[in-house]
Amino acid sequence: MPIKLEVWGDYACFSRPEMKVERVSYDVMTPSAARGLIEAIYWHPGLRYVIDRIRVCAPIRFTNVRRNEVKDVVKASDIKRLMEHGGKAPYIATPDSIQQRASLLLRDVRYVIEAHFEMTEKATPLPAGSGMPRGTERGKRPRLDAP
């Protein structure tokens, strides 16, 4: 059964794996991102989604964003030791460990995702009157960005 889903947002980043430090987006939504978006709305353990086409409905535009990140991390083992034995709370001195990073993001994106699903061995019938999928009630359309 084919599915068509229109998605849009002010910003999007589909990170290129070869760009380790600075985030750089692909020009278009990736099939795995489209599959993840569909599964976030229509997830069922018995369905596997296959992306057939991603239509670009807005011009491809990029923008640069700079953000501050903390380079240090608090180790889980330190937190576990603190919880078990008590002691001084972990502290990260932000001025000492701040790093400025750049990102090349997509701006004002709009896509139509065309996909179909295949039933898996975990497929079960939905109960009668189970309602609309998450995020689509009352005519709302899913978005890439937070409202």
pTM: predicted TM-score of the whole model, two decimal places = 0.68
Q: Is 4 helix (H, G, I), strand (E, B) or coil?
A: strand
- Window from 2-6, 40-44, 55-59, 105-109 with minimum mean pLDDT: 40-44
Confidence of residue 146 (pLDDT cuts 50, 70, 90): very low
The values of phi and psi at residue 134, to 5°, are -55, 140
Q: What is the mean pLDDT of the chain?
A: 84
Q: What is the pLDDT of residue 120?
A: 85
Closest C-alpha to 60, from 29, 36, 31 = 29
91 Cβ contact partners less than 8 Å away, ≥ 6 residues apart: none
Q: What is the pLDDT of residue 147?
A: 42
pLDDT in tens, 87-97: 877 777 777 78
pLDDT in tens, 50-62: 999 999 999 999 9
Q: CATH for 2-64+104-139?
A: 3.30.70.2660
Detail the DSSP E strand segments found in 1-147: 2-12, 23-24, 47-56, 62-70, 98-119
